[in-house]
Amino acid sequence: MRGLLQFTMDLFDGLGNEFAPAQPSAPRPRKVRKKAAPPVVVAPPVVVDAPPQDKADHAAPALPAIPLRDTLALASFVHPQATREAVLGSARVAYEFKRGKRKTIGFLVGAEGLSVRAPRWVTLRDVDAAIQEKADWIIRKLLETRQRHARVEATRIEWKDGAEFPFMGETVVIRLDPKHGFASVGGTLDAGDDGTGPRILRLAVAQNAEPSQIRDAAQAWLMRQARRLFIERLDHFAPRLGVRWQKLSLSNAATRWGSASADGSIRLNWRLIHFRLPVIDYVVAHELAHLRVMDHSHRFWETVESVVPDYDLLRQQLKDEAVPRWG
C-alpha cells in the first residue's frame, strides 16, 4: 500500500466533484408470527459513503459505524465540496474525493480541508485503508491549517486611524495626516511618538476617509517599499548564486510567495514585506536558485543553502507566522 501513496503538502484550489454521498438504505422488516410479540427492530447506523461507480467500487465496504454517543464528541473537518467521509481517531473528516489519470493516491490538505485523489483502478477499499494509515498525518495537518486560519483571522486589520500591521517584522501604526507634504509618495514612516513605541506610518488620507481608501493607501505604500527592497535583495543574492535576473513582478497570490521563469523573470508576493528581512531573503534566494535548478531536488536545496544556511528554519517561519488579513 505504501507504494500507492503520494503525499502533497502544498495548498490547492479547484478540484471538482465526482461522486455524490450515498443515502442509507432502509432496514429490512423482519417477518413475525401473528401471535408473537412484535420484535424490536434497530435501524442501522447512518454511514456516509460514495455510491459505486464501477466494479471495483461496487465491492468497497461501508465505513465503520459510529455509536451515537461518540458522534457528539468528535472533532469535525468538512471540506465544502466533500463527497466522502471517514472517522480518523477522534475526528470526523468529510473530504473531497476525485479520480483521475494518476498512478498514486494523493492527499492534499489546504485551507478548505482534505482532498484525496486516486487512480481510476484503485478500489475504495484501498482508498479507505490509505486514509486510515495516514490518519495521524492528516489530522495533524488539518489542525495546523485550522490554527493558522484562526491566527490569520485574529490579524484582520480594521482600517482606520490607529490601525496596526507588521512591516518587516515590526509593528507599524497608521496615522491619517492629509495636511502633511508627502502627497507625491502617499506616506512616510516616522519613529514612534515617544521614540520607544511602534513606528508611525503617516498617510495622506482624510480623517473621514472610507476604510477601503485607507487600505488602498497603505497597500500602495507597502508595495512601493516591497519593490525597492526586493530589487535590492535580488541584486545582493544573484551574483552569489551566479545567475542574472531580468524582470521583477509583484504578485498578490493567495497561496504562493514567489515564482521564477527560465528567462530570468521573478515574481514575488508583495505581502512578504510583512516579514523580517531574513525570511524575505530566503524567498528571494529560493526563486533565484530556480534559475540554476528548475525543480526542488537535493541539488536545488544545496544551492539555496549555499547563500542562506538556515533556510529550513526560515522556511518554517514563513509557514507558521500569520500574515495580516487584508479584507
Residue 153 pLDDT grade (very low, low, confident, very high; cuts 50, 70, 90): confident
Q: Are 39 and 61 in contact (CB under 8 A)?
A: no
- Which of 171, 169, 159, 168 has its CA nearest to residue 218? 159
Query: What CA–CA distance (Å, rounded) separates 229 from 327?
Result: 25
N-to-C CA span, the chain: 44
Return d(Cα 97, Cα 195) in angstroms, integer: 56
| CB-CB contact of 276 with 262 (8 Å) | no
Number of Cβ within a 10 Å radius of residue 68:
8
Query: Does residue 131 sit in helix, strand or coil?
Result: helix
Structure confidence at residue 240 (pLDDT):
96
Average pLDDT of the chain to the nearest whole number:
79
Q: 213 near 207, Cβ under 8 Å? A: no
Backbone angles phi, psi at 37, to 5 degrees: -65, 140
76 CA to centre of own chain = 18
Per-residue b/e over 241-270, b at no fewer than 16 CB within 10 Å? bebebeeeebeeeeeebbbbeeeeebbbbb
User: Which uninterrupted H or E stretch holds 107?
Assistant: strand 105-110
Q: Please, are residues 172 and 164 in contact by the beta-carbon 8 Å criterion? A: yes
Query: Across 18-22, 29-33, 79-83, 152-156, which has the greatest mean pLDDT?
Result: 79-83
Q: What is the pLDDT of residue 302?
A: 96
Determine the pLDDT at residue 264: 95
d(CA 5, CA 227): 41
DSSP assignment of 276-302, as one string? Answer: -HHHHHHHHHHHHHTTT-SS-SHHHHH
pTM over 0.75: no
Backbone φ and ψ for 98, nearest 5 degrees, come out as -145, 140
Contact assessment for residue 234 and residue 250, using Cβ atoms and an 8 Å cutoff: no
More confident of the two residues 6 and 55: 6
Mean pLDDT over 299-325 rounds to 91
Residue whose C-alpha is closest to residue 70's, from 93, 87, 50, 47: 87
At residue 12, φ and ψ (nearest 5 deg) are: -150, 165
For the chain, the farthest-separated pair of C-alpha atoms sits apart, in whole angstroms, at 99
Give the tens place of pLDDT for each residue, 87-96. Answer: 998 899 999 9
Radius of gyration of the chain measured on its C-alpha atoms: 27
Give pLDDT tens digits for 9-62.
Answer: 333 333 333 333 333 444 444 544 444 444 433 333 333 333 333 433 444 444
Return the bridge partners of 78, or none.
94
Do 201 and 187 meet the contact criterion of CB atoms below 8 Å apart? yes
